[in-house]
Chain A
Amino acid sequence: KKMASKISVVLRPVKSIVVRFCPFESNVESTRKFLGCINHKKIQATNRNCEVTADVRHDGSEPLVDVMFADGERLIMKGANLTTIEMLTALQSRCNAKELQEEQKSKKKSP
């Protein structure tokens, strides 16, 4: 079984990540753990300009992760029914896909 801390995410294509949750609710564990993992120095080191913010609320809103990519795309993950690993993997694959796009773009420019 995959350990969340072993999932490496490259944040280069990410502009910002907001992790929103109401800590007094009981469906926020995976979202809070996601916040913990994303703050890990290995992942943070992949993009020091990526802003990771915790939005702590008390208004019954559902837990979610709001990812803004540098190319304007947005990824919203609703943490109530997702595991930490699922959210990390989803972000990882998105980031890898964008990295690949960038690589191909730069290859076209300079053959």
Chain B
Amino acid sequence: SPRPIAARSLQDDGYVRLLRRQVEEVFRDNRMIAVCQFNSMPDEDVVLMRHYLRKHNIEVKFVLNEIVRPVLSQSKYKNLLPLFVARNILLVSPETKAKEMLRVLKGVPQINLLGACIDDTILSRQGVENFAKLPSLEASQGQTVGALALLPSQTSSLLQRGSAHLTALLDQHIRRLQAGETGSPAEPAPAQSLGAH
């Protein structure tokens, strides 16, 4: 089995470089990276948790602080550095199913969500919970389209009001003229300013 990390030169060792590259890839290839404290739990529970998370395309990655810290300190994720003390795991996904992740974590009290990076935005635990409560992008887009569509339809009826009124007046005028031709006394159409309500 490999020598412990501390015994290796953290600069040159190929295995250490590999582990660091893996951490870089995790942050590069995933939209959601959640950092959680890992408290000891039975292996069967770890397996179960992995299983339920995988259903939502979320992978569990055990990480070593000694490997993660130097990688993060050189990156735009350096504000996550304080999180990497004690024992941690990463929950990573190319999607951002925070709601589903929180639901699984609710059943695993030995795992404590500390914070996350979602779409290059660093969030606290509360931030993740707020993010999870947001409606889906499709729902928000639908709402926006609906609100925007309301305005032109109102404008359209507003614009038509003037000409609709004019049409009604002209109809009335024509009827009166026709009434005049058939012999009944013609009354001058009362002067009306167009557009008056």
Contacts and interface: CB of A to CB of B under 8 A. Distances in A.
Interface residues of A, number: 19
A24 B87 CA distance: 15
Contacts of A40: 40
B37 interface: yes
A58 B86 contact: no
A54 B112 contact: yes
Contact of B86 (A24, A26, A29, A57): A29
Nearest to B127: A58
A91 interface: no
Contacts of A35: 37, 39, 86, 112
A39 interface: yes
A52 B124 CA distance: 21
A94 interface: no
Contact of A39 (B40, B125, B126, B127): B40
B16 interface: no
B124 A32 contact: no
A33 B165 CA distance: 78
B106 to A, nearest CB: 13
B167 to A, nearest CB: 63
Main secondary structure of the interface of B (DSSP, over half): mixed
Given A35-B112, A58-B124, A58-B125, A23 B40 contact: no
A25 B115 CA distance: 12
Contacts of B87: 36
Contacts of A2: none
B124 A36 contact: no
Nearest to B42: A41
Contacts of B82: 23-26, 28
Interface in B27-61: 35, 37, 39-42
Given A56-B114, A58-B124, A28 B39 contact: no
A23 B39 contact: no
B126 A58 contact: yes
Given A56-B113, A58-B126, A28 B40 contact: no
Nearest to A25: B82
Given A23-B83, A54-B112, A56-B112, A32 B37 contact: yes
Contacts of B40: 36, 39-41
Contacts of A32: 37, 85-86
A40 to B, nearest CB: 5
Given A39-B41, A58-B125, 10 more contacts: A23-B37, A28-B82, A35-B39, A39-B39, A39-B110, A41-B42, A52-B109, A53-B109, A54-B37, A56-B112
| 10 nearest A-B residue pairs (beta carbon) | A58-B124, A39-B39, A23-B114, A32-B86, A54-B112, A29-B85, A56-B125, A33-B86, A23-B83, A24-B82
Interface of A: 23-26, 28-29, 32-33, 35-36, 39-41, 52-54, 56-58
